[in-house]
Structure 1
Amino acid sequence: MALAREVIAFCDRLGHRFSDEDLILRALTHSSLSSASRPDNQRLEFLGDRVLGLVMAQAVLQRDQTAKEGTLAPRFNALVRKEACAEVAREINLGAVLRLGKSEMTTGGRRKTALLGDAMEAVIAAVYLDAGFDVAQNLVLRLWGERLERVAEDARDPKTALQEWAQARGQTPPRYTEVARTGPDHAPVFTVEARMETGESARAEARVKRQAEQAAARALLERLTSG
């Protein structure tokens, strides 16, 4: 089956043409559209997470030859977190080619951080299976680009940074509220809001509540400090 024009355009943005085109189709298929003849991307997501992890572990080691594990770990986490994967996915407009069921389509699935992050990991796995580790590594390093250069700053705990920002201005620490929980019990997605006493707020979602809090804190801090 020939790839649709929009998928070919996505592969151009990705920078990889697939020998096995079924791999990219599977990587772009969410479980809400899967069937016996149309497998979803969950297995690829599992593999892609590990490929991404190895690439980034090597990258942070090479960029700082003297750093201790306690310094390397948060840098690594900042590079492989779901939000970082989703940011890259948005930059290459992955959401436009996601194959979603009606339920996800009507709830804005193409914009959801969790779906985009998972699909990005699945795409990495598809490239790895199609062309090997070296090609997948080069692709990841290119797509992550300047994130590798600024990772020391990004790795700082966002909740701590936001609290310090508030205290420096005589404000109370932000309040974190779980505003939604979706998905099955075995794999929930949490939506958390971070709110300052002055009313500014930001929301984020993640599969782990603490990660959602961190992402909301990061988004709110960026909003407060921009401009």
Structure 2
Amino acid sequence: MDQPKRPPSKRMAFCVDELVHVGQLWDVYRGDLIGCDGISKPQHLILKLMRPNAFPDEYPSDPDDPRSEEEGYHIKDSAIAAAFREDWIYRTRLVQLQGTIVPEYHGLFTWYDPLEDKPEWPYVFAMIMEDAGDADKGCREGSYYWEWEDILRIDRMYSTLHETAGLIQNAVADQHIIRSKDNQRLSLVDFQDARIFQECKPERRQHLLNTEDGEFLYMVHAFRK
């Protein structure tokens, strides 16, 4: 008589293989998501972690401090808002584009410290998504040389993002474009600062589009001879 199949585990563990990048909001890791039932197959994914307690309560009072809001740094409240914002963007605006020009998204998870009495916020935010590759070597140094074929691919990706998702990434940068290991796919990442067309007045929308176009042209042409 056949034994009844056990349902998949509701408990999961993420085994980290490597640290990919430490950013202003997320620490990004690569590893395997494993079910604790002994039957679920591991999934090779990306894990992004953020701890609100790692951020200050307020911005520096000195306007010349390099950790200011204008430089993209966060305080606790803005870090939490940015995490929820990026989760919402992936779950609503980017659904049709997942697995093509953005990674497949598996969700945002939170963990509360059981030793804390009535905590204001989760101890850890964890975002899990497809491992769609890495930024090319040199991108994070701000001096990457893009090939023409890639420039055309990236231009089409941003056009699709604008037309299909109705949003502006608002974070054009070499390191926000990742390449699959087989070089068959480029993907856009980092949507915590994305702006949705419907949220903007026409003149503001056009300004953001012009700014994004300018940042894109600078990114792909700045280091061409």
Superposition TM-score, scaled by structure 1 size: 0.27
Indicate the structure (1 or 2) with the bigger Cα radius of gyration: 2
Pick the structure with more strand per residue: 2
Superposition TM-score, scaled by structure 2 size: 0.27
Higher relative contact order (CA 8 A, sep 6+): 1
